[in-house]
Structure 1
Amino acid sequence: MTRPRIVYDDDCGFCTWSAAFADRHGDFELVGFSDLGREELVRLPANYERCVHLLTDDAVYSCGEATEQILARLDPAAQEVFGALRGVPGYAGTREKAYRWAADRRAWWGKLVSRDSV
């Protein structure tokens, strides 16, 4: 695998919109949960359906960390910001709580982005 793979819930409108946005503005391969193959499944955590994942040649990022990694690949400035934030005590926990808050409201986010195009 050379391009990072975004593994996402393709049954979720907001998730699909987000993956398409990342693909449009970056260099990713998109794999929806419904299209997962053995190659991806063996690398994903058991509860993979709980959040988004980014698979690279040497790592698996999940949930908030996956979102951070995707955003960092879209914008070099974001990469610098996230690099600085990783040095802040408690950042990782706060990032995951923020991800879960947003993910738990994805139906609302889906309604919001359905009015916009990718």
Structure 2
Amino acid sequence: MRTRPVLIYDGDCAFCTSSVNFAERHLRPRCDFTPWQFADLETLGVTQERAEYEVLWTTPTGSVQGGAQAVAKLLLSAGGVWSVLGALLTLPPVRWLAHGVYRLVADNRDRMPGGTPACAVPAAQRQGSHGLEPPTTH
């Protein structure tokens, strides 16, 4: 049984991998990191579709947070001044703003420093929640 939270990220994305490496070196959060490509997603309680769409924070009890709230959990687990920033990211209206900024960065991660074409999120996953396209009307 797991005893620590796990941050699941896109291991094929250079921007994501660089961000995780920064967090491991400088924030030292109390969690494990795993690329979704090598994770037992079923055991972690997430789908591949969701893991492709956003970074995920999973707890040993099965709670899952995604996107900006996963980043908030990571910061909270790092302690110190990082936990203050993490706590702010959980409060409205900062939470709402953080979600928008997260989506903007995630949808354009191939254009971010260290990003490569492999970092691009497929267009079908850039809209809606958890990688799902919003319903279309004809």
For 1:4-19, list aligned pairs within 5 A: 4-19=5-20
Q: Residues 85 and 50 of structure 1: is their aligned pair in 2 closer, same or farther, counting only changes over 3 Å? A: closer
Which residue in the other structure is 1:67 paired with?
A: 71
Which residue in the other structure is 1:44 paired with?
A: 46
Structure with higher Rg: it is 2
Return the offset for 1:84.
4.5
For 1:1-118, list aligned pairs within 5 A: 1-24=2-25, 25-37=28-40, 38-40=42-44, 43-44=45-46, 46-58=49-61, 59-84=63-88, 86-87=90-91, 89-111=92-114
CA-based RMSD of the aligned residues comes to 2.2
Return the offset for 1:104.
1.9
5+ residue gaps, structure 2, are 116-138
Q: How many residues are aligned here? A: 109
Q: Residues 86 and 34 of structure 1: is their aligned pair in 2 closer, same or farther, counting only changes over 3 Å? A: closer
Single out whichever of 6-15 and 77-86 deviates more from structure 2: 77-86
Q: Residues 107 and 57 of structure 1: is their aligned pair in 2 closer, same or farther, counting only changes over 3 Å? A: same
Distance in 1 of aligned mates of 2:24 and 2:10: 15
Return the offset for 1:97.
0.4
Q: Residues 64 and 84 of structure 1: is their aligned pair in 2 closer, same or farther, counting only changes over 3 Å? A: closer
Give me the TM-score of the superposition, normalised by structure 2.
Answer: 0.66
5+ residue gaps, structure 1, are 113-118
Q: Which has the higher helix share?
A: 1
Give me the TM-score of the superposition, normalised by structure 1.
Answer: 0.76
* Identity of matched residues, %: 25
1:22–1:28 CA contact under 8 A, matched in 2: no
